[in-house]
A and B are shown apart, each in its own frame.
Chain A
Amino acid sequence: MFLKNLDLTTALRPSYLPDEDLLFVQDNVGLYEGKYKLPNQQNGQVYLTSHRICYVDKAEPRKYSAALDLKDVERYEFYAGFLKSSPKITLVPKANKRASLQPSRNGNASPAQRVDSPFRAPPVETPPPSSATWVCTICSFSNPVPSNFDPTTASEHTPLPPCLACGIKPTLTHILKAAISNATSRQPSGGGPALYTPLPVRPKPGSELPAPATQPSSPSPFQTADASASFQCPRCTFLNHPSLMSCEMCGGPLISNDLPAELTQQRRETDSPGPVLSSLAPKTSEALESVKLSFRGGGEKIFYERLKGSITQRKWLLQGAPPIPKTSSNGPVGGSSTGAATGGGGGGSAGGNQPERVKIAGIAGLEQRGQSMRKNNEIVIGNAFEDLEALMASAKEIVALAETFARQVKGAGGATGSDNALLAESASQLGLIATKDIVGSGGGGDSLYLSELARTLAEFLTDDSRGVLRKAGGIISLVDLWAMFNRLRGGVELVSPADFEKAVNLWDKLGLPVRLRTFKSGVKVVQGRDRTDETTIRALLAWMQDLHNFPPDREVAWDWQMFGRGVTARDVAERFGWSIGVAEEELEMAEERGVLCREEGIEGLKFWENFIDTGEGATMPDPAKVENERITKALKESGFL
């Protein structure tokens, strides 16, 4: 199936794949399959990431959430809405996905199935080395990357050919990214089918992509004999330039010409507001397989724009991609290491260098290695910060570097350890945070932003690897959390205290695993939902019980084996890792419940187990009760009571 199950985080958000970036969130979205509404998926949030579109149902998030991989999307269409019909985005899966109805988790159909596909020939997955294309940002024409373009040596001074269609010169990073994604798409041996171009397949000018040209006779009526020459508009039959998105004559949307006829015809009818899909409805493959997102709360335009961007970027190809080609060829090593861009990827280039390198053993060798590594790092960092686009392109590498630096410094000096941990954390934090920019502004004003912020916070708090709550002893004051959270954002997209508080107040409503608690004094703290007053009291009491068994540091006047000893807020803070304010509040909470009692003395305020009110407390030790009863009895006997 096109739609897959979705793993959710504790905060009921999609759990992201490695390197996956959140691009956009919109709430109040319904799902259609074909022209039918999916009955249980009519109100939810849609998360657009660099890899997927995730639907998280509002009512039953664990049950009805679904996701689809962008790499399986053949085509996407925009429908602006009409009268009562909401704007929709239709996502048409790839042909091989439609042909094979089996749910496939990894999204890769087996080669055998693809051969069976009537719509597509077995792909030729070995394009010539020069087949990299870059899509012009102005006219979205796919240009070939010049064959002499070498990503490893390219700089801003490298001459770049202008776009063949509109004549606008591309930016270096644009071509760089195209070349890299091309290199990575060819890297896995055997040519994974997942690496198909997910762009709407159009006849590409020139011979740079032979696959469509070598197709066997297709049933499509739009398939002309010379497919690459022009592109016929299905509405007015005007022969358009292949790179156009809409017809030059009538303005109608142009459809890829290798699309099955049934589907293109079907598409016209699906625009009407559809009936709800009943479980008995016949499942004809192609009609049911296309998925529509109905944007009832607006936000469809931004979603569409970002979807377009992310399908163009094809970030999923970067997964497991080799690092940015290194310019180590300029270093002392010498040799041709351009293989990374042109041929076998990173591994091949390293192998190619080996024979030419003079082997130096021992300390000298280690030193040389270190030196070349440092040089390499310098180049990578230098390149990355040249401009922001390049930084985005090499973000992965930079993040890895930042982490290693942080580790190194941490190893060197322990004092600044926490700062470096913070640095590393903030590096890994890049991208996965809800910002006002990411979240759609549909209808409800800030509410979506706030609920996303609340979820982000909940994830941030419950993230085991970061252990924010755990380090703070399971409880953290709201102000501390706010400061920490904004620090991790690295100075951009800071959250205002007002928004922060509003978001935090949403936790209960959203059913997230953390909760806000207000102490008697008005201090607000954040703690896990499982952490109630009872568990806190139990922990406190267990500790105080221990104090009965361990002798105090110095001689005390009272019977410590019977009463234990008094503890100050400071002791408690140390023991449980709380801040002193929190410890005070927790102690007073326990006192309020009658579990502890206080002693004000020259040593300050101390808290003790409650041996005073032993009459009705559930925690009182038996001897005290006996004692109490004995006194009452004695008094009664002597007629006082």
Chain B
Amino acid sequence: MSTTPPTIFSSGSDPATDTTTTKPTGTLLPNDTFPFPREFFFPPFFTRQTNLTTYHAQQTKWSSLLLSYCRHHRLFRLSLSPEVLPFHNPRINRRLSVSDIKSLIDFLKKDGRAEYVPTSSGKQKGETEGDEAFIYWRTPEEWGSLIESWVDETAQRGSVLTVYELREGEGTRGTEIWGMDSDVLVKALGTVVKRGKAQIFQSGEDSLGVKFF
């Protein structure tokens, strides 16, 4: 990705034309292909706002930024560190604080768009806030129906597929399902099972099989 960074931040160039003509997609950072929205370069965006209306707008923008970022890079889980890219803007040297990241994930969780990755120690207690989170730019339900329609299209109803097949098999290559995070895929399949359209069974150690009806 050797995209030359746009020059709108150096005052020497002609920013007026730049801002209007640099595609509607936003601004690129070096080493990244994601077009960041304008707010990402607005320093107060990284400070938790006290005004409730503004704070709500801030969270909405952050979550949409996060979702589109993860979607762009097909990220299924995100490290909640203030030093990694979506939470840290190296250009203006601003970062979101850990507590703000947490409340952002909580905000996404309310919409069912994020979930903490259970830590090994917290597995028994259910959910604990870990250092990683699943970012559901598609919710497990959406993934489930996506898989289901793929199964339909490829006329594989009734047949048994392994999770590994779904993730890395030749059949799914070229579709969205290929390369999914296994945890997310299991969760997605779980929703299909819940609807009674599939069944999961252990077909060996560590490899899950799924049968679609």
Chain A residues contacting B19 (CB-CB under 8 Å) are 559, 562, 623
Chain A residues contacting B16 (CB-CB under 8 Å) are 561
Q: How many A-B residue pairs have CB under 8 A?
A: 109
Query: Given A592-B51, A594-B54, A640-B137, are A634 and B9 also a contact pair (CB < 8 Å)?
Result: no
Q: Cα distance A614–B58 when bound, in Å?
A: 10
Q: Which residue of B44, B51, B61, B91 is within 8 Å of A608 (Cβ)?
A: B44
Chain B residues contacting A638 (CB-CB under 8 Å) are 71
Question: Which chain B residues in 18-68 approach chain A with CB under 8 Å?
Answer: 19, 24, 26, 37-39, 41-47, 49-51, 53-54, 56-58, 60-61, 64, 67-68
Instruction: Check A613 against B58 for contact (C-beta < 8 Å).
Output: yes
Instruction: Check B58 against A557 for contact (C-beta < 8 Å).
Output: no
Chain B interface residue bracket vs A: 35 or more
Query: Given A559-B8, A627-B38, are A614 and B51 also a contact pair (CB < 8 Å)?
Result: no
Instruction: Check A631 against B51 for contact (C-beta < 8 Å).
Output: no
Give a binary string over B131-165; 1 marks a CB under 8 Å from any A CB, 0 the rest. 00000011000100000000000000000000000
Query: Could you say which of B26, B47, B58 has the most chain A C-beta atoms within 10 Å of its C-beta?
Result: B47
A366 → chain B closest CB, angstroms = 61
Instruction: Check A615 against B57 for contact (C-beta < 8 Å).
Output: yes
A175 → chain B closest CB, angstroms = 73
Instruction: Check B68 against A635 for contact (C-beta < 8 Å).
Output: yes
Chain A interface residue bracket vs B: 35 or more
Question: Does B93 lie at the interface of the complex (its beta carbon under 8 Å from any beta carbon of A)?
Answer: yes
Chain B residues contacting A632 (CB-CB under 8 Å) are 64
Question: Does B124 lie at the interface of the complex (its beta carbon under 8 Å from any beta carbon of A)?
Answer: no
Instruction: Check B53 against A634 for contact (C-beta < 8 Å).
Output: no
Question: Does B15 lie at the interface of the complex (its beta carbon under 8 Å from any beta carbon of A)?
Answer: yes
Question: Which chain B residues in 66-84 approach chain A with CB under 8 Å?
Answer: 67-68, 71
Instruction: Check A613 against B43 for contact (C-beta < 8 Å).
Output: no
Instruction: Check B92 against A612 for contact (C-beta < 8 Å).
Output: no
Question: Does A447 lie at the interface of the complex (its beta carbon under 8 Å from any beta carbon of B)?
Answer: no
Chain B residues contacting A627 (CB-CB under 8 Å) are 24, 26, 37-38
Chain B residues contacting A630 (CB-CB under 8 Å) are 24
Chain A residues contacting B49 (CB-CB under 8 Å) are 597-598, 612-613
A629 → chain B closest CB, angstroms = 10
Question: Which chain A residues in 620-641 approach chain B with CB under 8 Å?
Answer: 623-624, 627-628, 630-632, 634-635, 638-640
Instruction: Check B92 against A558 for contact (C-beta < 8 Å).
Output: yes
Instruction: Check B42 against A613 for contact (C-beta < 8 Å).
Output: no
Question: Does B202 lie at the interface of the complex (its beta carbon under 8 Å from any beta carbon of A)?
Answer: no
Instruction: Check A612 against B8 for contact (C-beta < 8 Å).
Output: no
Question: Does A78 lie at the interface of the complex (its beta carbon under 8 Å from any beta carbon of B)?
Answer: no
B94 → chain A closest CB, angstroms = 8
Q: Nearest residue in B to A626 (C-beta to C-beta)?
A: B24
Question: Does A347 lie at the interface of the complex (its beta carbon under 8 Å from any beta carbon of B)?
Answer: no
Instruction: Check A594 against B64 for contact (C-beta < 8 Å).
Output: no
Q: Which residue of A557, A594, A628, A634 is within 8 Å of B68 (Cβ)?
A: A634
Q: Which residue of B42, B47, B60 is within 8 Å of A563 (Cβ)?
A: B42
Chain B residues contacting A614 (CB-CB under 8 Å) are 57
Q: Which residue of B9, B39, B51 is within 8 Å of A594 (Cβ)?
A: B51
Q: Which residue of A597, A616, A635, A639 is within 8 Å of B44 (Cβ)?
A: A597
Q: Cα distance A616–B24 when bound, in Å?
A: 21
Chain B residues contacting A551 (CB-CB under 8 Å) are 11
Q: Cα distance A592–B50 when bound, in Å?
A: 8
Instruction: Check B39 against A597 for contact (C-beta < 8 Å).
Output: no
Instruction: Check A612 against B15 for contact (C-beta < 8 Å).
Output: no
Question: Does A601 lie at the interface of the complex (its beta carbon under 8 Å from any beta carbon of B)?
Answer: yes
Q: Cα distance A591–B93 when bound, in Å?
A: 24
Chain B residues contacting A610 (CB-CB under 8 Å) are 54
Q: Which residue of B37, B44, B54, B57 is within 8 Å of A566 (Cβ)?
A: B44
Instruction: Check A612 against B43 for contact (C-beta < 8 Å).
Output: no
Give a binary string over A367-399; 1 marks a CB under 8 Å from any B CB, 0 the rest. 000000000000000000000000000000000
Query: Given A551-B11, A558-B9, A558-B92, are A613 and B57 also a contact pair (CB < 8 Å)?
Result: yes
Q: Cα distance A591–B94 when bound, in Å?
A: 21
Q: Which residue of B26, B37, B46 is within 8 Å of A599 (Cβ)?
A: B46
Instruction: Check B57 against A612 for contact (C-beta < 8 Å).
Output: yes
Q: Cα distance A608–B46 when bound, in Å?
A: 12
Question: Does A611 lie at the interface of the complex (its beta carbon under 8 Å from any beta carbon of B)?
Answer: yes
Q: Cα distance A562–B15 when bound, in Å?
A: 9
Question: Does A600 lie at the interface of the complex (its beta carbon under 8 Å from any beta carbon of B)?
Answer: yes
Query: Given A592-B51, A601-B47, are A611 and B68 also a contact pair (CB < 8 Å)?
Result: no
A336 → chain B closest CB, angstroms = 81
Q: Nearest residue in B to A613 (C-beta to C-beta)?
A: B57
Instruction: Check B42 against A558 for contact (C-beta < 8 Å).
Output: yes
Q: Cα distance A594–B56 when bound, in Å?
A: 11
Query: Given A559-B9, A562-B38, A592-B51, are A608 and B68 also a contact pair (CB < 8 Å)?
Result: no
Instruction: Check A612 against B37 for contact (C-beta < 8 Å).
Output: no
Q: Nearest residue in B to A615 (C-beta to C-beta)?
A: B57
Chain B residues contacting A606 (CB-CB under 8 Å) are 43-44
Instruction: Check A591 against B42 for contact (C-beta < 8 Å).
Output: no
Instruction: Check A557 against B93 for contact (C-beta < 8 Å).
Output: yes
Q: Cα distance A31–B132 when bound, in Å?
A: 85
Chain B residues contacting A623 (CB-CB under 8 Å) are 19, 38
Q: Which residue of B24, B43, B51, B64 is within 8 Å of A591 (Cβ)?
A: B51
Q: Nearest residue in B to A602 (C-beta to C-beta)?
A: B93
Q: Nearest residue in A to B142 (C-beta to C-beta)?
A: A639
Question: Which chain A residues in 558-604 approach chain B with CB under 8 Å?
Answer: 558-563, 566, 591-592, 594, 597-601
Chain A residues contacting B51 (CB-CB under 8 Å) are 591-592, 594, 597, 613
B186 → chain A closest CB, angstroms = 22
Query: Could you say which of A560, A597, A611 has the most chain B C-beta atoms within 10 Å of its C-beta?
Result: A597
Taking Cβ atoms with an 8 Å cutoff, the residues of A that contact B are 551, 555, 557-563, 566, 591-592, 594, 597-601, 606, 608, 610-616, 623-624, 627-628, 630-632, 634-635, 638-640
Taking Cβ atoms with an 8 Å cutoff, the residues of B that contact A are 8-9, 11, 15-16, 19, 24, 26, 37-39, 41-47, 49-51, 53-54, 56-58, 60-61, 64, 67-68, 71, 91-94, 137-138, 142
Q: List 16 A-B contacts (CB under 8 A).
A: A557-B92, A558-B41, A561-B16, A562-B15, A591-B50, A591-B51, A594-B51, A597-B47, A598-B47, A598-B49, A608-B44, A612-B54, A616-B53, A616-B57, A631-B64, A635-B68
Identify the 10 closest CB pairs spanning chains A and B, nearest first.
Answer: A613-B57, A599-B44, A557-B92, A613-B54, A597-B44, A599-B47, A608-B44, A612-B58, A600-B47, A599-B43
Q: A558-B41, A566-B44, A612-B44 are in contact. List 5 more A-B contacts (CB 8 A).
A: A559-B41, A591-B54, A592-B51, A597-B44, A615-B60
